[in-house]
Amino acid sequence: MKYQTQKLAYPYFIAAMGLFVAQVLGGAIAGTIYVFPNFLSEIMPFNIIRMIHTNALIVWLLMGFFGAAYYLIPEEAETEIYSPKLAWIQFWLFLFGAAAAVVGYLFGIHEGREFLEQPLWIKVAIVVVALMFLFNITMTLLKGKKTVVAIILTMGLWGLALFFLFAFYNPSNLALDKMYWWYVVHLWVEGVWELILASILAFMLIKMTGVDREVIEKWLYVIVGLALFSGLLGTGHHYYWIGTPGYWQWLGSIFSTLEVFPFLAMVIFSFYIVRKGNRNHPNKAAILWILGCTVLSFFGAGVWGFMHTLAPINYYTHGTQITASHGHLAFFGAYVMINLAIITYAMPHLRGQQPYNQTLNMWSFWIMCSGMCFMTFTLTAAGVLQTHLERVMGLDFMEVQEQIALFYWMRLGSGVVVILGVLLFVYATFSKGKEKQAS
Amino acid sequence: MSEGMTKTAARNIFFGGTIFFFVIFVVLTAQSHFYILEESTDVSTLTASVERGKRVWEENACINCHTLFGEGAYFAPELGKVWVKFGGADDPETGRETLKAWMNAMPTGIEGRRQMPQFNLTDQEHEDLAAFFEWISRVDTQNWPPKPAE
Ligand code: HEM
Ligand code: HEM
Ligand SMILES: [Fe+2]
């Protein structure tokens, strides 16, 4: 760690890990309600649990992104963070907002659009937090070196904040509401977040492989270019059946199919650079997370996304367990794993230790990834059956759900495995590193 | 793959292309915005009651169990056409009564069956919710959901 203020990443990463644990526990409760429908139904209905599960996910991913930015911007810009004090205020305000939101949900205080359930004042607080952060990062960048990695990351973070502003627009016309809702949800995960993902990836590859920065930065431009050229009009894959014009069935199908390519490019990029690199970096676990991230995001977003993105197929699969299977592997592969990668990379520096529990960390990688993959497979099977029975044969929703109950048991089982992986990751990251560095 | 391209070229393509596609996207959503207002939804019947009904829907976070036009949670049935299912398209009075009876009968308490909570809505809220379901049932969703032959 070359700069003092990189330490600011530490509290963000700790909070991210805490919320991660809460998120998967929430998922497990939701999964339990699926198999024991009367579980908690009087005190804590499914919708509240689900809200906590998805919101905790978004918040901890953002915590991780903030931490990642505080860690890598000083090193890229070769200067200290503009205002460490502001970063601390931002941290506590964000953590407080997240905690207040969850407590509020438990008491039924929430709004009612998926993922955007935060009460108005919390949405405002999120914007304030984002502005503090962007001000801090941008000022740092302005006084320092403007590398491509730093610029793409900062662009992604600005885009994240700008598109969030559409969360404040809730027209009474449901079709309009839905159309702009995707400005937040789709343009985040299949737009500006990909800039954040790719730039964090590029940063770690530069640091760990010793490959020439010029090569990596050129790749970075190509990847984020592919992402935005396809992802902007790719939004059309959500505009098939919500009251928007029919031409989106063509545009959405074509451009969202192209969205597979940035994810494919990231796989090729990461493997090519790691192979080309000759520096024998001791943090093997971080490399594992990097490669795992590009592979599973290719499968989760690319392959599982493509599976149901063509309009004639989506007509039948829209809003079934197929969507849930894709949502899980895509979020996990891309954004969970990039966070775990940067945490695995940065923690030894932040804690002033040799690469800590590498073996346990790598075990957590394999446990978590197998759990998530199995969960995806079971949900896919459930989704295929559901699509056929409900959308093709015309059986009643509830009747179909009974027929596919077995898969919900398997989802719960794999979810428990994921949780074990998560707990092991946290333990491996924060335990005292007894292991000696290999090299 | 990108060996033949200079970094500056890659950068220019990225910024130029992004602006290009962003502009197209904005133009098309603007067009879609007007299409929604003019063609696919009936703005003339979007009354204050429909608006309040949407708020009832949101305040109770129905979306985190149900889907609406296929978006939301996958725990409970799609409700975009529930107005038609409840007979409201033929006779609005039946639709309103059936919806209210449904809401009031929850939770069923049936062991091993998914539960929907009791929301204790007022008469006014029931009216508004019905108006909302009635209004959305007429949105042109390009024939979604599929209607398998019975
Ligand atoms: C990392 C990137 C991605 C993430 C995190 C992600 C996540 C999600 C999530 C959470 C949903 C469900 C939204 C809802 O609640 O309604 C969704 C829907 C969808 N995604 Fe993705 N996605 C990603 C990339 C992609 C890609 C690259 C494609 C296409 C190739 C794709 C195709 C779709 C489609 C077609 C739907 C609509 C499903 C439906 O009709 O119910 N996604 N995505
Ligand atoms: C890091 C891992 C996880 C990620 C990234 C994740 C992400 C998500 C996302 C994005 C959704 C919304 C899906 C959509 O709208 O399509 C969701 C819903 C859900 N998740 Fe997870 N989740 C994770 C772990 C778990 C675990 C361990 C379980 C436990 C079994 C679980 C159970 C559920 C359930 C039951 C839902 C509700 C699905 C529905 O609406 O029917 N998740 N999760
Ligand atoms: Fe999308």
A390: closest chain B residue by CA: B148
Q: Is A100 exposed, middle or buried (0-12, 13-18, 19+ CB in 10 A)?
A: middle
Judge contact between A206 and A225, C-beta under 8 A: no
What are the structure tokens assigned to B87, written together?
Answer: 């007979």
pTM of the predicted model as reported, rounded to 2 decimal places: 0.97
pLDDT in tens, B132-148: 999 999 999 999 999 88
DSSP A278-323: ----S-HHHHHHHHHHHHHHIIIIIIHHHHTTSHHHHHHHTTSHHH
Cα Rg of chain B (Å, integer): 22
Nearest protein Cα to ligand 1, atom 39: A318
> ipTM of this model?
0.96
- CATH code for residues B44-150: 1.10.760.10
A322 to A214, A309, A386, A407, B150: CA distances (angstroms):
40, 11, 9, 12, 24
Look at residue B1 in the predicted model and tell me its pLDDT: 47
Min Cα distance B91 → chain A (Å) is: 23
Look at residue B148 in the predicted model and tell me its pLDDT: 82
Q: List average pLDDT for each run of 10 residues in chain A, which is 439 residues long.
A: 94 97 98 94 93 97 98 97 97 96 94 96 96 98 97 97 97 98 97 98 95 95 97 98 97 98 97 88 94 98 98 98 98 98 95 84 98 98 98 96 97 98 95 54
Best A173, A255, A399 member to test B by mutation, with max B CBs in 10 Å, is A173
pLDDT in tens, B75-84: 999 999 999 9
Q: Is A305 in the pocket of ligand 2 (CB under 6 A)?
A: no
- What is d(CA B52, CA A314) in angstroms, rounded to the nearest whole number? 31
* Interior angle at CA A187, CA A186 and CA A190, nearest 5: 70
Residues 6+ apart with CB under 8 A from A129: A90, A93, A94, A97
What are the structure tokens assigned to A154, written together?
Answer: 């900062």
Cα-to-centroid distance, A327 and ligand 1 (Å): 6
Q: Provide the 10 A C-beta neighbour count for residue A276.
A: 13
Look at residue A439 in the predicted model and tell me its pLDDT: 36
* Residue to mutate (ligand 2; options A328, A367, A410; most atoms within 8 A of CB): A328
- A219 and B2 within 8 Å at the Cβ level: the answer is yes
B119 lies within 8 A of chain A by CB = no
Residue A121 main-chain phi, psi, to 5 deg:
-65, -30
User: How would residue B149 be classed by pLDDT, with cut points 50, 70 and 90?
Assistant: low
Nearest protein Cα to ligand 1, atom 8: A327
- B148 and A401 within 8 Å at the Cβ level: the answer is no
Look at residue A54 in the predicted model and tell me its pLDDT: 97
Look at residue B136 in the predicted model and tell me its pLDDT: 98
- What is d(CA A364, CA B34) in angstroms, rounded to the nearest whole number? 51
Q: Among A351, A376, A331, A328, which Cα is nearest to A429's?
A: A351
Min Cα distance A395 → chain B (Å) is: 9
Look at residue B2 in the predicted model and tell me its pLDDT: 47
Chain B residues whose CB is inside 8 A of the A243 CB are 36, 40-41, 69, 139-141
Cα Rg of chain A (Å, integer): 21
Q: Among A186, A133, A114, A173, which Cα is nearest to A9's?
A: A133
B58 lies within 8 A of chain A by CB = yes
Ligand nearest to the CA of A53: 2
The DSSP letter of residue B146 is P
B72: closest chain A residue by CA: A114
Ligand nearest to the CA of A61: 2
B22 lies within 8 A of chain A by CB = yes
Beta carbon pairs, A and B, within 8 Å: 199
Its sign, for the CA torsion A300, A302, A307, A311, is positive
Residues 6+ apart with CB under 8 A from A272: none
Sorted by where each begins, the domain ranges of chain B are: 8-40, 44-150
Q: Among A112, A33, A102, A58, which Cα is nearest to B71's?
A: A112
Look at residue A434 in the predicted model and tell me its pLDDT: 53
Look at residue B144 in the predicted model and tell me its pLDDT: 97
